[in-house]
Amino acid sequence: MSAIPLHRRARRRRIVLGRALAATRQAFLGNKTALLGLVLTLAIVMAAIGAPWLSWIDPIDQDIMSRLKPPSAAHLLGTDQFGRDIFARLLHGARITLLIALSANLIAMAIGSLIGLIAGYYGGRLDIVLMQFMDALLALPSLILGLLLVAVLGPNAANISAAIALTLVPAYARVARTPTIAIKEREFVASGRALGYSDLRLMFRHILPNIVPEILVVASLWMASAVRVEASLAFIGLGVRPPAATWGGMIRDGFENILDGPYLVIFPGFAILVLVLALNLLGDGLRDAIDPRLREER
Amino acid sequence: MWRHLAQRLLFSVVTLTLVTSFVFVIVRVIPGDPAQTMLGDQASQEALVALRSKLGLDRPILVQYLVFLADVARGQWGLSMTNGRSVLGELLSVLPSTLELTFAALLIGTALGMPLGVLAALRRNRMPDYAVRIGSLAGISFPAFVSGLFLLLAFAIYLPLFPVINAGGDTLGERLHQLVLPAVNLGLIVAAYVTRVMRSAMLEVAQQDYVRTARAKGVPEPVVVWIHCLRNALLPVVTFLGLYTGILIGSAVLTEIVFSRPGLGKLIVAALNQRDYTTLQGLVLAYTIILIVINMITDAILGLIDPRIRHYRV
């Protein structure tokens, strides 16, 4: 055992971690496009949270007298074929989209990282079986798989999240597995094993913290793809059931009236585009910021 | 090379079996009774029972599964539960349309994406690089149906250059005319991905020892870039395209819906709405087989480009 008292070891680890974080933060903040991504993402998240206060019109309130009205002072972005306010629906749609994308990623991150960690740590036959299964799951593209699952389970927020999560599990498993294989060979893991630490302790206390950066970087990129899949499902008709507002569903409705009002599809289309772009910018920036540090370590 | 391919084929069979089992289970769990759906709400109990036994739905699920596997292997993919037509025939009739779109998109995507990726890598951190990077990031951020709708609005409704409904033309000219917008839509998205992969592959390869050696021994710069770098940078691009084609067929489904094109997209949506189990099974099966074939082709192309893979022994 090391002679350094436990609390000093903890403090030293904090300092090392703090320096690494500071370097990463500096690299990230120096990257203008990444900052733009962060700002846009935060703006959309705030708009989603503040939806009821930003627009006092009820998103499912039908105003039959003003159907398919272009943008005006009364309805900032116009109204749809039922006279519902598009601005309000966009704000409330952001809530559903973000909620589904976030929960899908959290579920997939938990399950996928666990599978990748186990496969990478134990290796051998278990690794082959687990990863072969993951590859089979990955063979089906997320849209087709999501489509089948949502059709089976029924379209509600929980089921859509679960379906998207399932499509992301193999991806997270792959991302967690590769660094696990590299890290389990490192000296500190070997010493832990020599000290008689259990497999669980080695996996979760010693390896997991080291692979977290990799997982978090892809998380923001896959938030973007979850948003895209959710919107696509809603567009096909497998979104959260109407009258609840979803961006994909708004485009689906707008598509039917595209000749009366192109703004019906343009506004929700831009909303999806901006959110996905913001998340991609953010993810790219995070990856660039974290990558050199990881390369240095290996 | 052959051993490598044989090994991949074996893995593919495992994948195929897993996927079919998975789909078989999922499709059986779909709520709703297909016999009821086919006969309508007014059907008598006897008619329902008779139809269920005719479709084999009354047998134990394991028997249904084994019968299904045997039939699939023999090329008998069953009859559609809604219109009684052969599932395989139905699939084969719409598949060319989807493949046509997919390959046109791949063509546009690689023709546009590879030069742009190389350009960005050669002009790293300068104007062309920034422009290409921002453009490609925007490209990968567009869901296929959103970009499709924007194109439809711009070039079929405001500027009526192309048809809004693309129900399939009679002459080659008509077909091509109808293919332009959907193919450009998907092709631009493919180009965005290809550009990113190409750019980072070129940058990666440029740091290799053999590139430095080539420069050191006085190989002219164009030869270094186009022969030493590009050939090696092609590998990740080909691998990516192989993997991506699967996703692309998924995006093709959305594009088909937006542009009202016949194809797998329409079939999938109809099968989902009508709980047509057999068609859904067939769709996923066909899909998986296409992916496996694409993977094999990708492996073969990689072997052709890179002797290290060709001579690799596991």
**Which of A136, A141, A255 is the closest to B149 by Cβ?**
A255
Buried b (16+ CB within 10 A) or exposed e, A190-206: eebeeeeeeeeebbeeb
Domains of chain A by range and CATH?
3-297 (1.10.3720.10)
Given an 8 Å threshold on Cβ–Cβ distance, is B254 in contact with A235? Answer: yes
Q: What is the pLDDT of residue B1?
A: 63
Tell me the H-state helices in chain A.
6-29, 32-49, 51-54, 86-122, 124-139, 142-153, 157-183, 187-194, 199-201, 208-236, 247-256, 263-297
Q: What is the pLDDT of residue A14?
A: 64
- CA nearest to B258, candidates B169, B176, B142, B88: B142
Q: What is the largest CA-CA distance in chain A?
A: 79
Tell me the torsion sign for CA atoms A107, A108, A112, A113.
negative
Given an 8 Å threshold on Cβ–Cβ distance, is B254 in contact with A232? Answer: yes
CB of A94 within 8 Å of a chain B CB? The answer is no
CB of A266 within 8 Å of a chain B CB? The answer is yes
CB of B293 within 8 Å of a chain A CB? The answer is no
Given an 8 Å threshold on Cβ–Cβ distance, is A224 in contact with B15? Answer: no
CA gap A177, A18 in Å, rounded: 26
Burial class (CB in 10 A: 0-12, 13-18, 19+), B37: middle
Q: What is the pLDDT of residue A99?
A: 93
Written as one letter, the residue type at A151 is A
CB of B277 within 8 Å of a chain A CB? The answer is no
DSSP structure class, residue B86:
B
Q: What is the pLDDT of residue A169?
A: 92
Note the Cα A280 to chain centre separation in Å: 10
Given an 8 Å threshold on Cβ–Cβ distance, is A140 in contact with B19? Answer: yes
Q: What is the pLDDT of residue B32?
A: 65
pTM of the predicted model as reported, rounded to 2 decimal places: 0.83
CA gap A274, A272 in Å, rounded: 6
Alpha-carbon dihedral angle through residues B135, B141, B147, B148, given to the nearest 10 degrees: 120
CB of B250 within 8 Å of a chain A CB? The answer is yes
Considering only CB atoms, which chain B residues are within 8 Å of A137?
22
Note the Cα B70 to chain centre separation in Å: 26
CA of A143 vs chain B CAs: smallest distance (Å): 6
CB atoms within 10 A of CB B10: 10
- CA nearest to B74, candidates B285, B296, B265: B285
CA gap A207, B134 in Å, rounded: 36
Backbone angles phi, psi at A189, to 5 degrees: -75, -40
Considering only CB atoms, which chain A residues are within 8 Å of B102?
none
pLDDT digits (tens, 9 = 90+) for A191-210: 988 898 988 888 888 888 88
- What angle is formed at CA B103 by the lines to CA B101 and CA B109, rounded to 5 degrees? 100
Cβ atoms of residues B68 and B24 within 8 Å: yes
Cβ atoms of residues B265 and B195 within 8 Å: no
Q: Give B215's strand partners.
A: none
> Which ipTM did the prediction report?
0.79
CA of B304 vs chain A CAs: smallest distance (Å): 24
- Read off the tokens for B139: 């490209």
**Which of B18, B137, B269 is the closest to A281 by Cβ?**
B137
Cβ atoms of residues A60 and A82 within 8 Å: no
CB of B23 within 8 Å of a chain A CB? The answer is yes
Place of tokens 């974080």: A21
Note the Cα B244 to chain centre separation in Å: 7
- CA nearest to A246, candidates B27, B272, B143: B143
Backbone angles phi, psi at A201, to 5 degrees: -65, -45
Query: What is the interface size between A and B, counted as CB pairs within 8 Å?
Result: 111
CA gap B216, B231 in Å, rounded: 19
**Which of B149, B153, B291 is the closest to A139 by Cβ?**
B291
- CA nearest to B201, candidates B232, B179, B243, B177: B232
Q: What is the pLDDT of residue A10?
A: 65
Average pLDDT per 10 consecutive residues for chain B, totaling 314 residues: 73 76 73 68 77 74 80 76 80 88 93 92 85 88 88 85 73 82 92 92 85 86 83 85 81 87 84 77 80 79 73 49
CA gap B183, B106 in Å, rounded: 9
CA gap B199, B206 in Å, rounded: 11
CA gap B35, B52 in Å, rounded: 6
Q: What is the largest CA-CA distance in chain B?
A: 86
CB atoms within 10 A of CB A112: 27
Instruction: List, in order, residues 6 or more apart from A244 with CB less than 8 Å away.
Output: A60, A92, A96
Residues of chain A with pLDDT under 50: 1, 293-298
Give the number of C-alpha atoms closer than 13 A to the C-alpha of residue B253, restricted to the C-beta side.
Answer: 26
